[in-house]
Structure 1
Amino acid sequence: MIAVFAELLELPAQKIGYAGLKDKHATTTQYISVESKYEPLLKNFQHKNIKILEKTRHSHSIRMGDLKGNRFSINLYDVDLMDAGKIEKVARKIAKNGLPNYFGYQRFGRDEGSVAQAKDMLKGEVFIEDSKIKSFLISVYQSHYFNEWLRERIILSREKNNSEFLLLSGDVLLSKDGKLSTPKIVPTKEFAQNKVVPTGLLCGRDTFRAKYEAREIEERFDDEFLQEKGQRREALIYPSNIECKFVKKETMLTLSFSLPKGSYATVFLESIAGKNYTAKDVKQDKSKKKR
């Protein structure tokens, strides 16, 4: 889409602002920004796959990360009325209790080979010249360890806290005003009221590390020698604005919901279904439908 507008307006693609990427196989809406002087060129724009829905003026261009979240609407087929009720009940329970904020399978490549490639690159066994690919592989490496850490914490929560996320002393917590803290005494009341959310480590330099009991688990999924900048990522997210519309004639349930930026709709669907998917699974499923 960016390439189409760049060609139309005769300007470099880098001059077109957008906040983030969208799913490849979907009907999506996206805000982009260009200088107001190009507005007349958009008046008679026509394209078979792209439609301008609205135009507005703003004092700033859109930058990567200028995003609060995404709204999803997904059609689930071969669903009967009873299943539709179960799906809605589970979805609303997840929205209340929180969804483990895993990186989705899309993050790790079609055959999940990106993780092994990232590890080989960091060991010096593979040389990557392209800076974008190198940056991508580092993010894959960080995401992989985050997912492994989160999986460990979810298992612990199942064993010791009836599947509700178990806070540990020294967890790095994110408050609603964006501040990070590592309290020694677990603030269970604040957590129950959604005033704080636990975070996991995206390993690297210049970032918070957990302390005390929480650090004992976190350090197993940390690479303190990684030179790239680290971050914290919410361990739990709370899907919102859940709507379910069942079409009996088509045995179809349309599930609509909102998620914070950086989270994956596929992870929400996996949690509802109670199973994990890979890119290979999805590809095989699509090929079966074609046959």
Structure 2
Amino acid sequence: MDREYLHSTQDIDFKFYQNEKDFVVDEIPMGEFLGRGNYLILKVQKVELTTWDMIAIFAEYLAIPAQKIGYAGLKDKHATTTQYLSVETKYEALLKKFHHNQIKILSTTRHSHSIRMGDLVGNRFSINLYELDAIDAGKIEKVARKIAKSGLPNYFGYQRFGRDAGSIEQAREMVKGELFIEDSKLKSFLISVYQSDFFNEWLRERILLSKESGSSEFVLLSGDVFVSKDGKLSTPKLIPSKEFAAKKIAPTGLLCGRDAFRAKYDAAEIEKKYDDEFLQEKGQRREALVYPSDINCKYVKKETMLNISFTMPKGSYATVFLESIAGKNYSAKDVKRDKKSKKR
């Protein structure tokens, strides 16, 4: 199902590619590392590898189970990405001899505990957009700043659903009991695909509703579930427009499952269409909007290229931001440069 957006530059057709030069990601850790403790923190850079691939390489080199290596989040494969890993300090000497063509240890420090999933603030992206003139580049920067101010619909990007999005149908069949999956990791992945697809469909309807009302902002409904900056969920009786405008709270959508906080009143009428109350896995809420920040644009006339760098909160997708700017949906095939084409 198509992802809909509130702001775009639909008359501008730019290109971007997910590769090591044109798509760069730097993880922003939760806070400062102590510089002492029983865990070694590695700042690593990887090229054209998934996070799982990289962890498997370190696990094999250190002769330890992959579960012994801590990490905060998964990073794109087709990119140059920097992130943090943790291992016990007893492997420090061995890691000084580590060498791999696609992985570089940039620095090390120590900390009191291992890195856990979610231990990051967000990610900093630097992406090259091609086939643009200076006027189009200016329009893109203007729309990007408008999105950052009013909020980006927090869709799950195409990466969530596998290369051809076939995992969505597979997930539905598994949940219905028509497909048996034995592998626990695959089963967990398909459950997340199932929840994510429902969330995206719900968010699309809410964006269309906002557009139909003539608003260029996300329209709130009575019964919406909001999350505050400290992570508390609430359903106020009155629509909290002022708090929303001040970015003190954000509306959320449902990732269906047990024990999840559900919407009420008008918001519930839409939400229940994208719910599965019989799903046994734990449900949760996801912010409907996120706010890209620290946007910086640099146009290179000689290459008809605009470099756009920005920071995104954890769990959100840079490609969704680019989709919103372009007013179109991308797939993995759209952003892969043909190997035969000229390298930039």
Interval of TM-score (by shorter of Structure 1 and Structure 2): over 0.9
Distance in 1 (CA, whole Å) between partners of 2:106 and 2:217 is 42
1:42 and 1:142 map into 2 onto residues whose CA distance is 39
> Secondary structure at 1:31's aligned position in 2?
strand
Aligned residue pairs, count: 289
Q: Give, as a single letter, the amino acid of the residue that structure 2 aligns with 1:270.
A: E
Match of 1:74 in 2: 127
2:111 aligned residue:
58
- Deviation of the 1:187 alpha carbon: 0.7
- What TM-score comes out, normalization by structure 1 length? 0.95
- Offset at 1:251? 1.7
Q: Does residue 242 in structure 1 map to residue 295 in structure 2?
A: yes
- Provide, for residues 15-63 of structure 1, a one-character-per-residue CA deviation record: whole Å limited to 9, x for no partner: 1111111100000101101111111112233222211111111001111
Deviation of 1:160 (Å):
1.2
| Structure 1 residues 77-226: aligned runs within 5 Å | 77-226=130-279
Point out the structure with the larger helix share.
Answer: 1
From 260, 269, 288, give the equivalent of 2:322. Answer: 269
Match of 1:25? 78
Q: For residue 51 of structure 2, what is the aligned residue in structure 1?
A: none
CA distance in 1, matches of 2:64, 2:261: 41
| Counterpart check, 1:252 vs 2:290 | no
Correspondence for 1:7 among 37, 53, 60? 60
Instruction: Determine what percentage of the aligned residue pairs are the same residue.
Output: 78
The superposition leaves residues 232-270 of structure 1 with CA deviations (integer Å, 9 ceiling, x where unpaired) of: 000000001111111222221111111111111110000
Q: CA RMSD in A?
A: 1.5
Which deviations, in whole Å up to 9, do the C-alpha atoms of 1:185-230 show, x marking residues without a partner? 1011111111110000000000100001110110111111111100
Structure 1 residue 290 corresponds to structure 2 residue 341: yes
In 1, distance between residues paired with 2:268 and 2:226?
A: 13
What amino acid is aligned across from residue 138 of structure 1 in structure 2? I
Counterpart AA for 1:279: A
Of Structure 1 and Structure 2, the greater strand share is in: 2
Q: 1:35 aligns with which of 69, 83, 88?
A: 88
| Gapped regions of structure 1 (runs ≥ 5) | none
* Shift in Å, 1:10: 2.3
CA distance in 1, matches of 2:66, 2:175: 31
Match of 2:104, SS state, is coil
User: Where do 5+ consecutive residues of structure 2 fail to align?
Assistant: 1-53
Asked if the contact 1:154/1:163 (under 8 Å) is kept, the reply is no
Q: TM-score, normalised by structure 2?
A: 0.81
